[in-house]
Amino acid sequence: MKTTKYILLLASSLMLLGTAPCKAQALPPTDIVHPKPDSWPTFSGDYTGRRYSPLKQIDSGNVKGLTLAWLSRINVAGPATYTGGDGPVTTTNANSSGTPLLVNGVLYMTEPNAMFAIDARTGRELWHYQWNGVPAETLGNRGAGIYGDWVYFETPDCHLVSLDMKTGKQRWAQVIADVKQDHWCSDSPLVIKNHVIVGVGGDFLDMANYAEARDPETGELQWHFWTTAHKDDPGFKTWPNEQAAAHGGGGVWTPPSYDPELNLLYIGTGNVEPTWAGQSRPGDNLYTCSVIALDADTGKMKWYFQMSPHDTHDWDASQIPVLANGVIDGKPRKLLLQAYRGGLFFVIDRVDGKVLSSTPFVDGLNWYTGIGPTGQPIPDKSKEPTTAGILTSPTSNGATGFPSPAFSPDTGLFYVGSTQSYSIFYKLDTDAQAEGYGGAEHQVGGLGSELRALDYKTGRPSGSAP
């Protein structure tokens, strides 16, 4: 079993670390709202999801001079400084899909069941924490969250663990989901004021998923939001019955974005279940495949927008919502930008959820017949999976996926990796009460992948004709 991986740092990027000594210190809340230039305190760098750095030292003129400063082996099976948990799982494959956090010259990296603190100047391991959990899906881990002197991460068996960021010693561990129900916990916690926001997913056993706020001091529950509409919720009418909604998916796989002025949290939700066989769940199936705006203090929903009603292709809306301020038709707007897995680029007013534009960012999409009056795509029912198979674009991997986009306020452009691809989707489970994925997919090719720079004012690639 391979249990090691490597991280490296380029010599010229050492200038990003400033002159502070390589010793972990508290992260003030103000440094999350307005990060210091030499830090990266959240999954996306800050609350906006932009992945933008104001640093100018490295540019197109000197990037060719970057050289290797150090390379460090991350040994997941190596001796741990501290351990926690009561289960038998003590090692796991190195399988990170997250972003290292950088605070005061220390990198905080997660793997399933493990966290490391690394001296960013030398690559030296400062501490290693190992979680001994029960067997669970170790599909990856998207990283940590930091609050004051404490760092948090989710474990595969669905515990939220809090550590002392200076030593790696465990403070507490709280169960956030039942792993026996096949919930998957891999999200990067996001700290907002006195809330630790966590997400819970799951794919194979058809369950309802959710986001929660936890107390950073104790891990106790503060609020809970189901991503499939339960009874007494207005969205419940988009489900045929309580059973379908209670097994409807809507996983929270990536950390949300946050607007401190509006105090709104923006969460992208996952695909509906059963995934490729939709006959047991007629309706739009809210709030799957959606972006949802929640009050950060209460978890109450202010607005939502569903990008793929009654999805049958695994096109979740878990792509990072990017917050930017711009001018549309001469009017200043607080915007939410999202390149959706189904191949559409949405520009939304993040105050009220009104869609300002819905534009394809790749060619060849054939799963919708047009854009409705609210900016929502109108699915083409003839492109739903069939027993004989139906050619559809894009594949279930999407026109874009989990790799994060970026936005530059300098250029006003939104940057996203894209793929034009095609699959034949099959429905295999024709039972009235389908379960699981309920189908299969045969990917038949595509026209390659490209990095695209989209103009938020037009929704189109920069420089293209309207």
**Helix (H) / strand (E) containing 328:** strand 322-328
Q: Which pLDDT tens digit goes with each residue over 219-243?
A: 999 999 999 999 999 999 999 999 9
Give me the residues paired with residue 184 across strands. 201
Do 119 and 128 contact (CB within 8 A), yes or no? Answer: no
Per-residue pLDDT of 43-91, as tens digits, reads: 999 999 999 998 889 988 999 999 999 998 888 888 899 999 988 877 6
Question: What are the structural domain ranges in the chain?
Answer: 1-141, 193-466
Nearest to 74 by CA among 121, 127, 33: 127
Q: What is the pLDDT of residue 351?
A: 98
268: number of Cβ within 10 Å: 27
**Both ends of the chain: CA-CA distance in Å?**
52
314 catalytic per annotation: yes
For domain 193-466, give its CATH number from 2.40.420.20, 2.140.10.10, 3.50.50.60, 2.60.40.10: 2.140.10.10
Q: Which helix (H) or strand (E) holds 75?
A: strand 68-75
Sheet harboring 264-268: ordered strands across? Answer: 257-259, 264-268, 290-295, 301-306
The closest of 427, 396, 442, 441 to 279, measured between CA atoms, is: 427
Question: Other C-beta atoms within 10 Å of 226: how many?
Answer: 18
pLDDT at residue 462, as a whole number: 82
- Structure tokens given for 35: 């990060």
Rounded distance between C-alpha atoms, residue 259 and residue 352, angstroms: 13
Q: Is 16 helix (H, G, I), strand (E, B) or coil?
A: helix
Report pLDDT digits (tens) over 173-208: 999 999 888 888 999 999 999 999 999 998 776 788
pTM exceeds cut of 0.85: yes
Residues 322 and 337: their CA atoms lie apart, in Å, by 5
> Which residues make beta-bridge pairs with 361?
none
- Distances 458 to 49, 347, 418 between C-alpha atoms, Å: 21, 9, 18
pLDDT at 182: 84
Residues in the chain predicted with pLDDT less than 50, given as ranges, are 1-3, 12-16, 18-25
As a whole number of Å, the CA-based R_g of the chain is 22
Question: Among the options 38, 206, 311, 314, which is catalytic?
Answer: 314
Kindly give, in sequence order, each residue whose CB lies less than 8 Å from that of residue 214, ignoring residues fewer than 6 positions away: 160, 174, 176, 195, 196, 197, 198, 220, 221, 222
